[in-house]
Amino acid sequence: MSRFFTDELAALSPYTPGEQPKERKYIKLNTNESPFPPSPKAVEALTRAEIESLRLYSDPTCMSVCEAVAKRNGLRPEQVMAGNGSDENLAFALRAFCGRQKGVAFPDITYGFYPVWAKLFDIPAQEIPLAADFSLRVEDYVGLGRTIVIANPNAPTGKVLSPAQIETILRGNPDNVVIVDEAYVDFGAESCVPLISRYENLLVVQTFSKSRSLAGARLGFAMGNAELIADLNRVKFSLNPYNVNRLTLLLGAASMADEGYFAACTKKIQETREWTAQELARLGFELTDSKANFVFARTLKMPGKQVYEQLRERGILVRRWDSPRIADWLRISIGTMEDMQALAGAMTEILEG
Amino acid sequence: MSRFFTDELAALSPYTPGEQPKERKYIKLNTNESPFPPSPKAVEALTRAEIESLRLYSDPTCMSVCEAVAKRNGLRPEQVMAGNGSDENLAFALRAFCGRQKGVAFPDITYGFYPVWAKLFDIPAQEIPLAADFSLRVEDYVGLGRTIVIANPNAPTGKVLSPAQIETILRGNPDNVVIVDEAYVDFGAESCVPLISRYENLLVVQTFSKSRSLAGARLGFAMGNAELIADLNRVKFSLNPYNVNRLTLLLGAASMADEGYFAACTKKIQETREWTAQELARLGFELTDSKANFVFARTLKMPGKQVYEQLRERGILVRRWDSPRIADWLRISIGTMEDMQALAGAMTEILEG
């Protein structure tokens, strides 16, 4: 770092995104993208006239997207905030509801960005170990005196909590915000959105990146009671009010309204996930019960790093981490059936070839 | 604010963007947008195939844009960072180079976001008064012991410093970063980019929003020595790595390469600015010597608020502020010649009608 960099951030350890190599064409099963294009209705919304209108700023309130999200979820628009990806919404939420005196708690195995934001904002972080089978013990999250962030389904395990379990955590922390990161909720888990009307301390964050096939458009959204959303907007309007691209607002509103396409894509991914899980189990893999658009698997026949590398040599990218508890596990995104057949074939070669 | 909002940010006073009313069609001369569409080459880059590729994440390094910016400016790509609008780049720069122990200094009359970021990041801010004619006295900025932010041309005055004057400030603050916000530099001011090779403490921030007609695409960029840029990336990868939309990267690279269209648009705006300034002077307005895509003007015949309101009634939006030193001044964006003829006509009615 340069000699001008502030001491306050000397301990930063920036997030490492999944690799995006360009040297050859891979089957990309490493960043949980959708194998399907966005809704045709969204694609068609980007007319030449709209593209030319990029000369104008976007609506900083993102009202069209907030309205579409509100309508689908039985909320009012002021209960929704749109952001430049759910990463931005989550960061704003931690900035709004935590501080040097009010820490944050999350599982030891979860989305790797939570501790990064905690360091950036100087927030004391408590990592609570998951059980040996990666399940979250609800009783560990009662009366913590901290803001809580829970990914549900969790990443990278794909395991879910029921709304009733989340409710226990909400009731056990009435003076703290519980942020439920539902990035992967649309692939078979149950959303906590219906709890918003009953718990003023609940913030639910979702994204267009996975189930709406818009990872490259950068659009996420937070839902909660209007006061929490106003808090998020105070942070947003103090950092970057025009945070969402004009075309992205069009894409988001059109995509949220296309229920049929959404249902078809998410159903297909769930079916392909079940097929993939069966194939991997047949090859001797141990798997979590993932309700996300990925599976989480390990084999005892070979170290995870070696499986990862041999897949890479065969043109297939998956995701793995060095952290001890999950060093042998692979997170494998669900692509098309053809992608997953290629994966199963490569795994057969690697383990039985 | 909710009872969950952190005390640390209780003093926030979020930025107020220029109004974006929807109840009627206005001639919008209030947010410094370009009256021209983006480069046709940029528009054509958004093919249906590219729009469908939104299912994939964008390149978090924004390499295509960094390369295009580097090529045009005689820099290396590692001397450039792209962001979600120059607001984001400026925020990252203040976060990287300031702290509770290292304050920031900027003029009392300048872009209204600088003090907002200072509050968000808990950075002590020193506002240095401009002279009575809104000129910046270079000697006020020597040996400050703080990070310095200077908009050049300044907003909302449009007044410029020469690179030689900036150089005096750079030499006078060798242990502090000097951030030059060149959002408006392409309309007749001289850029400090050539100084980057000689001053390790210089960071220049520019944007695609004004001279490249891409306000709604959200794309800005910072240029400086590779170490400063790496510092900005440490902040970015700790907050929101996928900060730029995939389509925006295409638009940015294509737009930066289209020198002819850029030259034609910026020339036209300068000509229209000069025409507008003459018309307003003829009506008795006092004007600064603006080198931006706006003029800054006041009349002694009527309070600024009243002129603003009467323009609004006639369907023309301009920008004004309540702060005492500029309460009678109006910032008027340069639109098409037809827009400015309508403005001149309305002003004639208001002041002489």
Does residue B22 have a pLDDT over 80? no
Percent helix, strand, coil in chain B (nearest 5)? 45, 15, 45
CA distances from B30 to B10, B22, B24, B97, B335 (A): 30, 14, 15, 31, 10
Of the candidates A215, A188, A195, A240, which has an alpha carbon nearest to the alpha carbon of residue A81? A240
- Interchain CB distance below 8 Å, B216 and A56: yes
B-facing residues of A in 61-100 (CB < 8 A) are: 84-85, 87-88, 91, 95-100
Q: Select from A29, A55, A148 the residue whose CB has the most chain B CBs within 10 Å, as the one to mutate to test that interface.
A: A55
**Residues from chain A contacting residue B4 (CB–CB below 8 Å):** 96-97, 147, 175-177, 201, 228, 231
Quick one: pLDDT at residue A284? Answer: 96
Quick one: pLDDT at residue B17? Answer: 83
ipTM of the complex: 0.96
Q: What band does B353 get if pLDDT is binned at 50, 70 and 90? A: confident
Which one-letter amino acid corresponds to residue B194? P
**Residues from chain A contacting residue B36 (CB–CB below 8 Å):** 55
**Residues from chain A contacting residue B200 (CB–CB below 8 Å):** 2
- Interchain CB distance below 8 Å, B38 and A46: no
Q: What band does B242 get if pLDDT is binned at 50, 70 and 90? A: very high
Out of A19-33, A45-59, A337-351, B114-128, which region has the weakest mean confidence (pLDDT)?
A19-33
Element (H, E) at B249: helix B246-257
Distance CA A210, CA A10 (A): 33
Distance CA A330, CA A344 (A): 14
Nearest CA in chain A to B84: A243
* Of the partner residues A7, A55, A119, the one whose CB lies closest to the CB of residue B215: A55
- Asked if residues A118 and A127 have their Cβ atoms less than 8 Å apart, the reply is no
Q: What band does A124 get if pLDDT is binned at 50, 70 and 90? A: very high
- Asked if residues A140 and A170 have their Cβ atoms less than 8 Å apart, the reply is no
**Residues from chain A contacting residue B214 (CB–CB below 8 Å):** 54-55
Does residue B252 have a pLDDT over 80? yes
The residue extents of the domains of chain B are 17-37+260-352, 40-257
**Residues from chain A contacting residue B46 (CB–CB below 8 Å):** 46, 51
**Residues from chain A contacting residue B234 (CB–CB below 8 Å):** 1, 5, 9, 12, 14
B-facing residues of A in 124-183 (CB < 8 A) are: 147, 175-177
Cβ neighbours of residue B317 closer than 8 Å, sequence gap 6 or more: B18, B19, B21, B26, B27, B28, B29, B30, B311
% of residues, chain A, pLDDT over 90:
95
Does residue B21 have a pLDDT over 80? no
Cβ neighbours of residue A87 closer than 8 Å, sequence gap 6 or more: A113, A220, B239, B240, B241, B242
Quick one: pLDDT at residue A20? Answer: 76
Q: What band does B339 get if pLDDT is binned at 50, 70 and 90? A: very high
B-facing residues of A in 199-238 (CB < 8 A) are: 200-201, 209, 213-218, 225, 227-228, 230-231, 233-238
Nearest CA in chain A to B45: A51
Which one-letter amino acid corresponds to residue A350? I
Of the candidates A27, A55, A46, which has an alpha carbon nearest to the alpha carbon of residue A214? A46
**Each residue's pLDDT tens digit, A154-201:** 999 999 999 999 999 999 999 999 999 999 999 999 999 999 999 999
Q: Which residues of B35-50 are buried (b: 16+ CB within 10 A; e: fewer)?
A: bbbbbeebbebbeeee
pLDDT (average), residues B34-45: 98
Nearest CA in chain B to A14: B238
- Interchain CB distance below 8 Å, B51 and A43: yes
Nearest CA in chain A to B120: A238
- Interchain CB distance below 8 Å, B1 and A116: no
* Of the partner residues A4, A17, A239, the one whose CB lies closest to the CB of residue B241: A17
| Domain B17-37+260-352: top CATH class | alpha beta
Quick one: pLDDT at residue A265? Answer: 98
A-facing residues of B in 295-324 (CB < 8 A) are: none
Quick one: pLDDT at residue A337? Answer: 98
What pTM did the predictor assign?
0.96
**Each residue's pLDDT tens digit, A282-333:** 999 999 999 999 999 999 999 999 999 999 999 999 999 999 999 999 999 9
**Each residue's pLDDT tens digit, B192-227:** 999 999 999 999 999 999 999 999 999 999 999 999
pLDDT (average), residues A71-76: 98
Which of helix, strand or coil describes residue B148? strand
**Each residue's pLDDT tens digit, B113-143:** 999 999 999 999 999 999 999 999 999 999 9
- Interchain CB distance below 8 Å, A215 and B5: no
Quick one: pLDDT at residue B16? Answer: 85
pLDDT (average), residues A232-246: 96
Quick one: pLDDT at residue A24? Answer: 77
Q: What is the mean pLDDT of chain A?
A: 96
Q: Report the gap between the CA of B4 and the closest CA in chain A (Å).
A: 6
Quick one: pLDDT at residue A11? Answer: 85
Q: What band does B11 get if pLDDT is binned at 50, 70 and 90? A: confident
Q: Which of 3.40.640.10, 3.40.718.10, 3.30.2130.30, 3.40.50.300 would CATH assign to domain B40-257?
A: 3.40.640.10
What's the angle, vertex CA A204, arms to CA A161 and CA B15, rounded to 5?
Answer: 155
Distance CA B85, CA B220 (A): 4
Which one-letter amino acid corresponds to residue B275? W
Q: Report the gap between the CA of B284 and the closest CA in chain A (Å).
A: 31
Quick one: pLDDT at residue B338? Answer: 98
Looking at domain A19-37+260-352, which CATH architecture does it have? Alpha-Beta Complex (3.90)
Q: Report the gap between the CA of A301 and the closest CA in chain B (Å).
A: 33
- Interchain CB distance below 8 Å, A7 and B99: yes
- Asked if residues A304 and A328 have their Cβ atoms less than 8 Å apart, the reply is yes
Q: Report the gap between the CA of B282 and the closest CA in chain A (Å).
A: 30
B-facing residues of A in 245-284 (CB < 8 A) are: 245-248, 251
**Residues from chain A contacting residue B245 (CB–CB below 8 Å):** 216-218, 245, 247-248
